[in-house]
A and B are shown apart, each in its own frame.
Chain A
Amino acid sequence: MTAPLVKLTKKDFVSDQEVRWCPGCADFAILAGVQKLMPELGIAREKIVFVSGIGCSSRFPYYMNTYGFHSIHGRAPAIATGLKMANPDLNVWMVTGDGDALSIGGNHLIHALRRNVDIKILLFDNRIYGLTKGQASPTSEIGKKTKSSPFGTVDRPFNPLTLALGAGATFVARTTANDMQHMLAVLKRASQHKGAAFVEIWQNCVVFNDGAFDEWSEKDVRDERLLKLEHGKPLVYGKARDKGLKIGGGFTLEQGTAEGAVVHDESRDNAGLALALAALEPPWPQVMGVLRAVEMPSVDQLARQQEQEAAKAKGPTSLEALLQSGDVWDVAGSGDDA
């Protein structure tokens, strides 16, 4: 990546389009955070591409003064994969929502993760379909009453983190839009990851699912109910930082005191600890931060390597030679003595 010639500022990443999310939407905070982060990456603006699918969150590219592609429902991971494989020199970000990524685009998401395409995936999770005005989404908690489920949903939700880990994601993190400092730190880590970086961002929908994450992320409860992960540090939480997680029976984590808490290691090949952290259910805390960050070659990188090796192998090297490869025969002018 070549460094930009002039130092860019947040303003350079603000497009001329009017932002059309509902007043009070948490998407504003994420947009501001991303625009703030961009100049810090040291990447020329023209090399940055934002790709999205369909949904409220997917309008995001229109508001970024970079290259952008607002595509079709669920297909952003596939479009971003083609974009990155075609030009690995680009810095590709994908913005999606819980419906876009986990419902209609679920297949593309897991395959982008297993391939480890070098793209940064930001999943704005508000546990509701917003743009279609309030239907249950694949992350809506069971029993949730919505327009499409007046008696409560009967299907169990996805946990985006365990899904990503199960798909073999090399970078998995969670943050929340109402904690700018934490969100910026996580997004920065994602931006530095070589490979598919998956970030679930809790994002409140003021109109159709207000208070979606209040239970954990409101200021007065978050210290007790959220555990901020730090690599190499014990899994400790609580206002007094007196609670910790220890290994329990049956491959689980259970609550204990700060003393003897397990030390977080995001770099383990084995995703077991990350899965256990991702799967924590109330009354235990929800984790925030980087669950997993391991290095593996990305598909775009591997494909280019293979191509370079193919260029060294035996075989025709020009189009003319390629056309004439195989069993070729000559027909002379008269056609008689072929």
Chain B
Amino acid sequence: MTESVTPRVTQDIEHAVVRFAGDSGDGMQLTGTEFTREAAMHGNDLATFPDYPAEIRAPAGTTAGVSGYQIQFAAHEVFSAGDQPDTLVAMNPAALKVHLPDLKRGGLLILNEATFTKGDLDRAGWKSNPLTDGSIDGFRVIKVDFERLVHKAVEGTGVSSKDAGRCKNFYALGLVFWIYSRDTEREELAIRARFAKSPQLAEANLRAFKAGYFYGETIEALDAQYTIAPAKLRAGKYRNITGNSALALGLVAAAQQSGLRLFYGTYPITPASDILHELAKYRRFNITTFQAEDEIAAIAAAIGASFAGSLGVTASSGPGLALKTEAMGLAVMTELPLVIVNVQRGGPSTGLPTKTEQSDLFQAVYGRNGECPLPVIASRSPADCFDAAFEACKIAIDFRTPVILLSDGSLANGSEPWLLPKAAALAKIEPNITTDPAGFMPYKRDEKLARPWAIPGTAGLEHRIGGLEKDSLTGNVSYDPLNHEKMVRTRAEKVRRVADGFAKTEPYFDQEGDVLVVGWGGTYGSITQAILEARQKGLRVGHVHLRHIFPLPNDLTDVVARYRNVLIPELNTGQLRLHLRGQLGIEGVGLNKIQGKPFHVAEVASAIESLARRGVSTVKEIA
């Protein structure tokens, strides 16, 4: 099918941004995922941004129920899912209402024409019909009567009218496949596999998919078909991966490399639940998954498992982290290895469950009772969640400490091609579990200040731990004032020493110059792309993207001094900025966005530029 006989021009382009949008029940996440897989298999570099409502099925046809999936795919490296779609598929008036403002002028707009009825327009809040009132002037509009065409395509397969209607996402997928000259064979196999249990549904969806593809070939309105060559990525094996899947694999890898059982205690919460779903499949790898009765039990069980000699891990999002706080203190006090994952979402309270934000930095670093330091690290991209999870486990085991790993909603659900690591090339993690009773004292420390990990079942090492302050050697309960001060300072120094193992901080791009952009977490892609653009304008810009939020790298102050200005873009009101000021006296200028959405590249690029050119001390907040 890809070698079609269409007489139209085929235009070779470098990159494209496509957004699929529809009602929550329209299957847009699936459509986006399918398109993404093909882009990956085609060899494009890509980044995705799924954006869906917190309600499973908000009232049909309303803007509250609109679900979207955006992908940028390219013949070169890409770092973000793109600011503005080149192609927008809007399956109903509500999807058009929500997403039209983002569509690039002159972009391709594919509309489900049959849904533009009075009722659906009213439900979506359109005062007049956008198809006729000028709203969509300036775009290349393809109006498709999906309902009629899909029903026609699946005629004879015997599926119900309802099921036929549900095939329209594959019709839309077929159409976009044609537009971007995608290989249909792999997708056909994928559809057969997805509906393997119902040959009838498989057939109907296949027909819808093919019909959509042929529709593209047939209609006059489409004047060009695009091709995007595979990207010149580093050689190796790749697979497309979401942040949550990568994070789960990172935990498995760390457990395997340490020879420990992985105990994963968790409670369902958006957007972290997929980590549980992934790990539950990998039980054969010496993994216990435990869906606890609540967030507190989830971390408490993980602590119990760590005491037993497993690698205890728990994951949640902000509200869940709040509930786990007291238990984190217990893990700090008992100095047991533990990894706590926070897939951040919009807060406070229940906030924006399905939207992304970076507003839990303070919670992670400072949010516990008492002097309660623990290492905090952050992942920067979906595939990087693997490395970050692995490192979090390694620090936890090496230093006998709880470690917080910060991810976020955009990383968790977003995806990108992942250059697969070789298992054999991964670092070994040495648990160094104590077995020798000679000279054993539960709180006698090694050179890293880590205490022995002596696990139940080992004869001669019977001892008691708990949340009460410990004697600095025996671990017995101690109320001695000087011992308490010593222990508080020792626990802090142990965490500080984690930084002694960090690699030298080497900024990306310019090593000195106009602006150093200091970022952390999921803003990595937007910042990188923005710096590429700023440097094309002749600005000298460096980029440090902090893996280690606490402790901070020892050499950060020196690096910062090489630039005239420091820009700190964050999806919060300035938590890293205040953290850097407080910890290191670094004065940066904030770029802050709190809309539940990632940065647009343009937003960061313009902030870099205005800071570099004018040297202003503030960057206007994004309205």
Contact = CB atoms under 8 A, between A and B. Distances in A.
Interface of A: 15, 17, 44-49, 51, 54, 61-62, 64-72, 75, 77-87, 89-90, 107-108, 111, 303, 306-307, 310-311, 313, 315, 317-320, 322-324, 326-336, 338
A64 B456 CA distance: 14
Contacts of A89: 457
A71 B336 CA distance: 13
B195 interface: no
Given A75-B300, A328-B420, A83 B456 contact: yes
A323 B278 CA distance: 13
Contacts of B286: 307
B273 interface: no
Contact of B239 (A47, A315, A326, A335): A326
Given A75-B327, A107-B294, A311-B284, A70 B305 contact: no
Is chain A's binding surface mostly helix, strand, loop or mixed?
Answer: mixed
A36 to B, nearest CB: 18
B301 A78 contact: yes
B351 interface: no
Nearest to B459: A46
A208 to B, nearest CB: 21
Max chain B Cβ within 10 angstroms of own Cβ: one of A44, A77, A84, A86: A86
A85 to B, nearest CB: 5
B43 A82 contact: no
Given A319-B423, A336-B230, 12 more contacts: A46-B456, A61-B464, A81-B304, A85-B301, A90-B308, A303-B290, A307-B286, A307-B287, A319-B252, A327-B37, A329-B239, A331-B237
Contact of B230 (A15, A313, A315, A335): A335
Interface string B328-341: 01100010000000
Contacts of B421: 323
What DSSP secondary structure best describes chain B's contact surface?
A: mixed
Contacts of A85: 263, 288, 290, 301, 305
B59 to A, nearest CB: 34
A54 B466 CA distance: 10
B456 A87 contact: yes
B7 interface: no
Contact of B297 (A48, A86, A108, A313): A108
Contact of A86 (B41, B232, B288): B288
Nearest to A317: B284
Contacts of A323: 249, 253, 420-421, 423
Contacts of B301: 78-79, 81-82, 85
Contacts of B431: none
Given A72-B330, A303-B288, A319 B253 contact: yes
Contacts of A322: 249, 252, 282, 285
Nearest to B465: A69
B327 to A, nearest CB: 6
Given A78-B292, A323-B253, A329-B43, A70 B308 contact: no
A66 to B, nearest CB: 5
Given A61-B466, A71-B467, A83-B305, A307 B283 contact: yes
B297 A78 contact: yes
A303 to B, nearest CB: 6
B235 to A, nearest CB: 5
Interface in B30-68: 37, 40-41, 43
B462 interface: yes
A203 to B, nearest CB: 21
A34 B281 CA distance: 41
B462 A78 contact: no
A62 to B, nearest CB: 5
A332 B293 contact: no
A69 B327 CA distance: 13
Q: Which of A64, A85, A336 has the most CB of B within 10 A?
A: A85
